[in-house]
Amino acid sequence: QATPWLITLGYIIIYCAIFSKLWRINKVLQFRKGSSVGIKQALAPFAAFVVAAVVILAVWTGVDPYTWVRREVNSDTNETYGQCESQHFLAFAIPLLLIMVSATIFAAAMAHRTKDIDEKYAESTWIFY
| One pLDDT digit (tens) per residue for the chain, 129 residues | 899 999 999 999 999 998 998 888 888 887 766 667 788 888 999 999 999 999 999 999 999 999 999 998 888 888 999 999 999 999 999 999 999 999 999 999 998 888 877 777 766 666 655
Outline where the chain has alpha helix (H).
Answer: 2-29, 39-63, 89-113, 124-128
pTM of the model: 0.83
Identify the burial level of 76 via C-beta atoms within 10 angstroms of its C-beta, where 0-12 means exposed, 13-18 middle and 19 or more buried: exposed
Domain ranges across the chain: 2-128
Query: How many C-beta atoms surround the C-beta of residue 99 within 10 A?
Result: 20
